[in-house]
Amino acid sequence: MVKSQIDTIELRRRVEVKIDQCLKQAERYFNMRLTKPIFNFKQRGRSAGTAYLQTNEMRFNAFMLNQDPEKFIDEVVPHEVAHLVVYQVYGSKPKPHGPEWVAIMEHLFNVDAERTHTFEVPKPKRLYLYQCGCQTHEFTAHRHGRVKRGTQYLCKLCKEPLVFLHAN
């Protein structure tokens, strides 16, 4: 087995251990059985992780996990688990980063309730260049798709509409 496969297997095991720890803490605190989520490393783009409440699934960004595994496992994994715990305990009424989620993060998991991460974001495979009156802007395929469906963007500096130039 090559080193990267060993690292991947080990990191997956560490993520699963952290998920189990968080769930056990929540089960003890709420005195109820929680359903263990499935998880994978299919998250792409700018998000470090996403919790899918109805399917009890978490997706993690492997690119970001590999930057700083300790920080990722200590912060991102509890962040996503807390979303699933809120859903299983309180239902769909609470807001995604509302007081219930904050309480679980800070008082139960002892992790700062941050909504954003500081990991580097992977460079997009393809960029779309747009022009305004003062500069050139780079759009991702996602944002370019929004423009194609009718969304119009204005430059924050000169307030002029952004016009598509070409793909890079």
CATH code of the domain containing 27 = 3.30.2010.10
Nearest to residue 11, comparing CAs of 70, 90, 80, 54?
Answer: 70
Same-domain check for residues 7 and 44: yes
Residues 34 and 71 in one domain: yes
Q: Per the structure, how many domains does the chain have?
A: 2
What local confidence, expressed as pLDDT, does residue 1 receive?
A: 40
113 within some domain = no
State residue 45's pLDDT score. Answer: 86
Q: Is-contact 72 48, C-beta < 8 A?
A: yes
Q: What is the pTM of this model?
A: 0.78
Q: How confident is the model at residue 124, as a pLDDT?
A: 76
Same domain, 133 and 98: no
**CA dist., res. 28 & res. 115, Å (int):** 25
- Predicted local distance difference test score (pLDDT) of residue 57: 98
Catalytic residues: 80
pLDDT in tens, the chain (168 residues): 434 544 688 999 999 999 999 999 999 999 999 999 999 999 988 899 999 999 999 999 999 999 999 999 999 999 999 999 999 999 999 999 999 999 999 999 999 999 989 898 877 778 999 999 999 999 989 899 999 999 999 999 999 999 999 998
Q: What is the pLDDT of residue 18?
A: 98
Residue 2, pLDDT score: 38
What number of other Cβ atoms are within 10 A of residue 138's Cβ? 12
Neighbours of 51 (CB within 10 A): 21
For residue 132, the enclosing domain spans 128-167
In the DSSP assignment, the letter for residue 131 is E
